[in-house]
Structure 1
Amino acid sequence: MAALNVSLSFFFATFALCEAVRRASKALLPAGAYDSFAREAAGAAQLGACCLEMRMLVEIGPWAGGFGPDLLLTLLFLLFLGHGATLDGASANPAVSLQEFLVAEASLASTLLKLTAQALGMQVACALTRLCWAWELSDLHLLQNLVATHCDSALRTTVAQGALVEGACAILFHLTLLRLRHSLPVYRVPAMALLVTVMARTAGPFTSAFCNPALAASVTFHCSGHTLLEYAQVYWLGPLTGMVLAVLLYHGHLPRLFQRNLFYSHRKKYRTPRGKAAAGCGDTQMPTKGHSSREPGQNWRGRQPWLNPGTARS
């Protein structure tokens, strides 16, 4: 239990440090620099450090600390609740940033700056987490520090199956994100945290279900067992392909590249009933066929002087 308390303290310290960086950056930097760089770098560092510590608990905790799967899944859900509540709008995910670019919600310059910040934040997270492990504050950190150079790969299946699993998880993740991106955080944050927890439970034994190219690169690309190209196919090509397919399924097209809808046809919400023509602006005074245009008390012949004999004689 002491090891779990140390890990919880690590999580709280990471959240507090990254929150302090966000507040200082927001006060000192222009809004554009904060939104596109500082916020993303702090969010990526927070996400990367917590996921590295969580991965250590998942790999070593069951046999060295007696942690059950229920405890680990609950802790993962609470962590992503905390991320959703504190990231201040940052995605800390290159696939999400590219999704925002494809749906024309972010410019190219802003997207490139976010990608750079996310990569930098993940590298900072790796350095700080390994420094904390080197202090050996708990037995789990001591064991992790001993096996850090011989980590196990998160890819525990074939490359083709791994890419398929990551792509399927990415489709589900991005479709949910697209559906909930304009909803209130009180609904969006728990829904996304629950989705991540379910994907980690179902796809975790195969690929760990990262759905985040930068996070996967910092966590498992240095582990032995697969080449860099194989890792890239599973953790970069798979999630990015799934993201593009999710945007196509949701919008019917890629708004950044073309406007023609490939899947869905836009129909009018209100349609004119068949057989009834809509009257135009100049037709309001036109008499309807089959109806008389006489005014009350006026003879039809009186309105037609050429048919009135008295008028014709005069």
Structure 2
Amino acid sequence: MKFTIDVLGIFLKVVIRVNKVTFAPLVVSALFILLTSLLAHCARRLVQKAVQEPFVRLLLEEAIAAAELCGCCFELIIVADNFGVGTYAIFLFLLTIWWSMNWGDATACPYTHIEDVIEGKGDVRKALLKTWAELTGGLLVFKYVQMYWALEISETHKDKAFEDCKADLQVPVLYGAVVEGVATCLCRLASKALGDLNPRFSTAIDAFIGTSLVVAAFEYSGGYFNPVLATSLKAGCEGHSLLEHAVVYWIGACAGSALSVYMYKLPIIKKFVRGTTEVNGDSIWADKED
């Protein structure tokens, strides 16, 4: 606890000094994201040392990962609104790489557990418990974000802490569900292929594909591709009902994920994945010589 308070104190001193000297709200946002990631990293290490039961430890890691994901993405909304989608994409790309390297077995995403059930790698009870843990972390983290926004250290945070939120869905509900579903399916197919092929820089490639799909869907559905993330950030916001939210961000994304499991087993997909891919005569795959 003392370590956390000390870190928070140092953080506030830095951001206040930076803001007074340079008036750089983007730096303030970046430092908040760094703080959130640092606190999540420390919490993850504490759980790994203190909790011996593997499944309980995984549940706590899922909650921490979801809190980190949603906490950072709350701030990414500020970045996107004030500095554009391009800056948002750079932050998201780097964060996706960080999450891939630090979350371990946690995913902070319910449909990965649905995929495990379909493939016989998990059971429904455990999938539901993991989803509950992720929702808990994702929903509770807003109080932490709200506390920070209420300080209004940066001009971009002014009145944000208690502002009424607006939905990102800019298209009809069914269209939005299709966008989330198709993009999720493509994202999961790419991840599965990269997992099997294990190319060099696979983490960066996966992050680039995911970020590109998010940017492509940004003006349509918001490009969440994760029911917990969408619920934490946008459930109950003005612009759609909770039922419409569930159709787009839960049914759409989960259907796309489930579809990817069956599509990946198709012979044409298998043949494509096993094919040789070369760029200017140089292979990017780990098991081939350049």
- Using structure 2 for the length normalisation, give the TM-score: 0.79
The structure-2 alpha-carbon separation of the partners of 1:68 and 1:191, relative to structure 1 and needing over 3 Å to count, comes to same
Give the letter for the 2:50 counterpart.
L
Instruction: Write the distance in 2 (CA, Å) between the matches of 1:183 and 1:38.
Output: 31
Q: Quick check: 1:134–1:141 contact (8 Å CA) kept in 2?
A: yes
Tell me which of 237, 240, 261 is aligned to 1:247: 261
Residue 235 of structure 2 aligns with an amino acid whose one-letter code is F
Which of 26, 37, 46 lines up with 1:15 in the alignment?
37
Stretches of structure 2 that go unaligned for 5 or more consecutive residues are 1-22, 271-290
| RMSD of aligned residue pairs (Cα, Å) | 2.2
Deviations 1:100-130 (A, max 9, x none): 2221222333322211110111012212111
Structure 2 distance, partners of 1:199, 1:93, is 17
Q: Which structure 2 residues correspond to residues 106-185 of structure 1 after superposition, within 5 A?
A: 106-145=122-161, 148-182=162-196
Instruction: Describe the shift of the 1:87–1:73 C-alpha distance in structure 2 as closer, same or farther (beyond 3 A).
Output: same
Does the 8 Å contact 1:81/1:190 carry over to 2? Answer: yes
Residues 44 and 122, structure 1, Cα contact 8 Å, conserved in 2 = yes
Q: For residue 45 of structure 1, what is the aligned residue in structure 2?
A: 67
For the Cα contact (< 8 Å) 1:150–1:223, is it kept in 2? Answer: yes
Structure 1 residue aligned with 2:6: none
Residue 258 of structure 2 corresponds to residue 236 of structure 1: no
Letter in 1 for 2:135: A
Classify the secondary structure of the residue corresponding to 1:20: helix
Given that residues 56 and 144 in structure 1 are in contact (C-alpha distance below 8 angstroms), is that contact kept between their aligned partners in structure 2? no
Q: Which residue of 2 aligns with 1:54?
A: 76
Alignment of 1:281-300 (within 5 A): none
Counterpart amino acid of residue 93 in structure 1: C
Indicate how the Cα distance of structure 1 residues 69 and 233 shifts in structure 2: closer, same or farther if over 3 A, else same. Answer: closer
Matched residue, 1:227: 241
Shift of 1:191: 1.9
More helix by share: 2
**Structure-2 change in CA distance of 1:89 and 1:184 (3 Å):** farther
What secondary structure sits across from 1:164 in the alignment?
helix
TM-superposed CA distance for 1:186, in Å, is 6.1
Q: Closer, same or farther in 2 for the Cα pair 1:182/1:41, shift >3 Å?
A: farther
Choose from 196, 221, 225 the match for 1:207.
221
Q: C-alpha distance in 2, partners of 1:234/1:36?
A: 28
Taking a change above 3 Å as real, the CA distance of residues 39 and 242 of structure 1, as seen in their structure-2 partners, is: same
Contact 1:81 1:189 in 2 (8 A): yes
The verdict on how the C-alpha distance between 1:264 and 1:158 changes in structure 2, with shifts beyond 3 A counting, is: closer
- Give the Å deviation of 1:42: 0.8
Q: Which has the larger radius of gyration?
A: 1
1:74 is the counterpart of 2:85: no
- How far apart, CA to CA, are the structure 1 residues paired with 2:126 and 2:197? 23
Relative distance call for 1:115 and 1:69 in structure 2 (3 A) is closer
Instruction: Measure, in 2, the Cα distance between the counterparts of 1:18 and 1:107.
Output: 27
1:182 CA drift (Å): 4.9
Q: Is the 1:36–1:113 Cα contact (8 Å) retained in structure 2?
A: no
> 2:34 and 2:137 mapped to 1: Cα distance?
18
Please tell me the residue identity of whatever aligns with 1:163: A
- How far apart in 2 are the matches of 1:144 and 1:190? 32
Task: Supply the distance in 1 between the matched residues of 2:50 and 2:121 (Cα, whole angstroms).
Answer: 25
Tell me the distance in 1 between the aligned counterparts of 2:123 and 2:58.
10
> What is the alpha-carbon distance in structure 1 between the residues aligned to residue 32 and residue 269 of structure 2?
48
User: Aligned equivalents of 2:73 and 2:234: distance in 1?
Assistant: 11
Report which stretch shifted further, 68-77 or 222-231: 68-77
Q: 2:134 corresponds to which letter in structure 1?
A: Q
**What's the offset of the Cα at 1:10?**
0.7
